[in-house]
A and B are shown apart, each in its own frame.
Chain A
């Protein structure tokens, strides 16, 4: 138990019993990212590094999109939670 000392049989069994498991649903299921988006991102990088207004606008737009998705995710999470509570109550 105390660090580098050899573990006894129970501790070894606990390590086996408590081994990590993958969640039933993969939280990191890959999203489809069309190849052209990477191309657009690269083109936008070029424009941004040249200091053009187009590149900066792209950056602002992506930030706005990210904020929008974050707001919707939070609103969705709270709404979904309330629905779950209502369902539990009505059982």
Chain B
């Protein structure tokens, strides 16, 4: 797999939040063709409401509470397709158009034969205010928009939270 990597900043680190952000995440054409769709939209008030039902005696819930403490919103759209090559570069450009400078900066871009993965950081008054993830695989397209303060390193450790197994570390 040829991998082209552009790394502009470290992946881990805390980002302080200053305001919620929204960008167009719906691609109607893909939604119509998807065999499976996930659409989660949790604004600030809904996040706070959900947090009230977290169980502090449960270690997993406690981790979630800590992770979302500075969040102002989390939005996920994920489309799965029966066949490959349903999404196109034009679809990705539709998303990328909303994630441009000066407000957004792409800090990670991994491109290979099995798709593209990108992470963007939103800056407000020269301070980080949110994260967007664009993950395009042959039979799946996922867009994540996280508004507010989030620790990406802690987030990547959260896999396996709701009894969905973690992605295992590749063994040497």
Chain A interface residues (CB < 8 Å from chain B):
25, 27-29, 31-32, 34, 37, 58, 60-62, 64-89
* CB atoms of A67 and B50 under 8 A apart: yes
28 contacts between A and B (CB under 8 A): A25-B165, A31-B163, A64-B42, A64-B49, A65-B53, A65-B54, A68-B51, A70-B38, A70-B76, A71-B75, A71-B144, A72-B68, A72-B74, A72-B155, A72-B158, A72-B161, A73-B162, A74-B38, A75-B155, A76-B156, A76-B159, A77-B164, A82-B117, A84-B170, A85-B3, A86-B11, A87-B170, A89-B3
* CB atoms of A73 and B110 under 8 A apart: no
- Given A80-B167, A89-B3, verify A67-B155 contact (CB < 8 Å): no
* CB atoms of B40 and A70 under 8 A apart: yes
- Given A67-B42, A80-B166, verify A73-B158 contact (CB < 8 Å): yes
Q: Which residues of A contact B110 (CB under 8 A)?
A: 82, 85-86, 89
* CB atoms of B133 and A78 under 8 A apart: yes
Q: Which residues of B contact A70 (CB under 8 A)?
A: 38, 40, 76, 162
- Apart from A65-B54, A68-B42, A79-B155, what 5 extra A-B contacts exist at CB < 8 Å? A60-B49, A61-B53, A69-B64, A73-B159, A76-B156
Chain B interface residues (CB < 8 Å from chain A):
3, 5, 7, 11, 38, 40, 42, 46-47, 49-55, 57-60, 64, 67-68, 74-76, 78, 108, 110, 112, 117, 119, 133, 135, 142, 144, 146, 152, 155-159, 161-170
By beta carbon, the residue of chain B nearest A68 is B50
Q: Which residues of B contact A76 (CB under 8 A)?
A: 155-159, 161
* CB atoms of B64 and A83 under 8 A apart: no
Minimum C-beta distance from A39 to chain B (A): 13
Q: Which residues of A contact B64 (CB under 8 A)?
A: 68-69, 72
Q: Which residues of B contact A64 (CB under 8 A)?
A: 42, 46, 49-50, 53
* CB atoms of A28 and B163 under 8 A apart: yes
* CB atoms of A37 and B55 under 8 A apart: yes
Minimum C-beta distance from A34 to chain B (A): 6
Cα-based distance from A36 to B40 in the complex (angstroms) = 29
